[in-house]
């Protein structure tokens, strides 16, 4: 029956419309969170800048020449990737882009005969690499959309241990950098050993006569772990802001798709309804005609004249 098709279509339109309500709500939530997350990225900058400035001064004073966190290893055997993704999907290509970049990075180092180590942040990265049977050293989940400094501290501590023991020679961060609300990019940044060159370029030559208390070497010792934490924290905040931006875009597209789908389905439904009506009229008319043709012959109950 043609009426059955119409009912099915009506039901589908309803389900698409309720899905649209959900995607619209998610879009609005993500949009409001982008602003907050972007503000957190900016709010964290003064600390990172301050720490960088202090490390620069300490280096200018000659400290840290043999600190393991600052010394590049001559012969890299094992490279760690910290892959920062989201805990949830529904954010377009956000997760896959990061994971693909991390996998490419692992391949590249394997090509050079180096082993990999894998630290996953976010449920998506953990699931992805576990499914592909990679050896995961540690996974951190449950805070991808609102990371706190404690989380960065935890990650940095877990990674720094094997690095200091010499089990890992290079640590890289793979995450999505938040440039603006309209632009984010996947980046691979070295974390450990800390980039000595980066400090030298930041300073405009050593400032005269800093006093140190305690001696520079000891300050640096306490400072470098904080510096690594601040770097991880900045990456987490960038990733969180990017996640919200991606989700907002993905949900906006989904809402628009739902609109289009409803439009097309209503068109098909209307046509189906018209078809059903036309068929019904045809049936009635031909039925009446057939009745009239036979009815004329033996009785005249129908008012034909």
Annotated catalytic sites, by residue? 91
Minimum gap (Å) between residue 151 Cβ and another protein:
11
Nearest to another protein of 59, 95 (CB atom):
59
Place of tokens 């389905």: 265
SS3 label, residue 132: coil
Cα separation, 280 vs 274, in Å, equals 10
Site residues for another protein per CB under 8 A: 40, 43-44, 46-47, 50-51, 53-54, 57-58, 148-149, 152-153, 207-214, 216, 218-219, 222-223, 226, 229-230, 233
Minimum gap (Å) between residue 188 Cβ and another protein:
23
Minimum gap (Å) between residue 54 Cβ and another protein:
6
Minimum gap (Å) between residue 180 Cβ and another protein:
21
Nearest to another protein of 171, 219 (CB atom):
219
Cα separation, 83 vs 80, in Å, equals 9
- Per the CB < 8 A criterion, the answer to whether 27 and 227 are in contact is no
Minimum gap (Å) between residue 161 Cβ and another protein:
17
Q: What is the DSSP string of 37-90?
A: HHHHHHHHHHHHHHHHHHHHHHHHTTTTTT-TTTPPPSS--EEEEEEE--SS--
First to last CA, the chain: 36
SS3 label, residue 174: strand
Q: Which two tokens stand for residue 220?
A: 């640096």
Nearest to another protein of 53, 181 (CB atom):
53
Nearest to another protein of 84, 117 (CB atom):
84
SS3 label, residue 189: strand
Nearest to another protein of 135, 148 (CB atom):
148
């Amino acid at each position: 029956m043609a009426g059955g098709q119409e009912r099915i279509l009506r039901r589908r339109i309803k389900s698409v419309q309720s899905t649209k309500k959900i995607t619209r709500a998610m879009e609005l939530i993500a949009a409001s969170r982008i602003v907050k997350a972007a503000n957190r990225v900016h709010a964290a900058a003064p600390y990172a800048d301050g720490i960088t400035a202090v490390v620069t001064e300490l280096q200018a004073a000659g400290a840290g020449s043999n600190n393991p966190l600052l010394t590049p290893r001559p012969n890299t055997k094992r490279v760690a990737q910290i892959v920062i993704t989201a805990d949830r999907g529904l954010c377009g290509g956000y997760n896959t882009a990061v994971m693909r970049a991390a996998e490419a990075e692992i391949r590249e180092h394997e090509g050079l005969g180096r082993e990999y180590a894998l630290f996953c942040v976010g449920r998506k990265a953990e699931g992805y690499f576990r499914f592909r049977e990679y050896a995961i050293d540690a996974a951190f989940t449950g805070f991808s959309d609102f990371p706190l400094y404690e989380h960065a501290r935890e990650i940095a501590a877990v990674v720094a241990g094997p690095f200091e023991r010499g089990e890992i020679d290079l640590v890289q961060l793979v995450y999505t950098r938040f440039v603006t609300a309209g632009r984010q990019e996947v980046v691979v940044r070295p974390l450990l050993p800390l980039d000595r060159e980066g400090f030298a370029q930041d300073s405009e030559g050593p400032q005269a006569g800093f006093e140190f208390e305690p001696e520079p070497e000891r300050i640096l010792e306490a400072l470098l772990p904080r510096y690594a934490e601040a770097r991880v924290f900045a990456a987490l905040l960038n990733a969180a802001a990017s996640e919200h931006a991606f989700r907002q875009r993905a949900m906006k597209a989904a809402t628009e798709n739902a609109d289009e789908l409803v439009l097309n389905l209503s068109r098909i439904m209307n046509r189906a309804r018209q078809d059903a009506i036309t068929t019904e009229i045809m049936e009635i008319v031909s039925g009446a005609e057939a009745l009239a043709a036979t009815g004329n012959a033996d009785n005249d109950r129908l008012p034909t004249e």
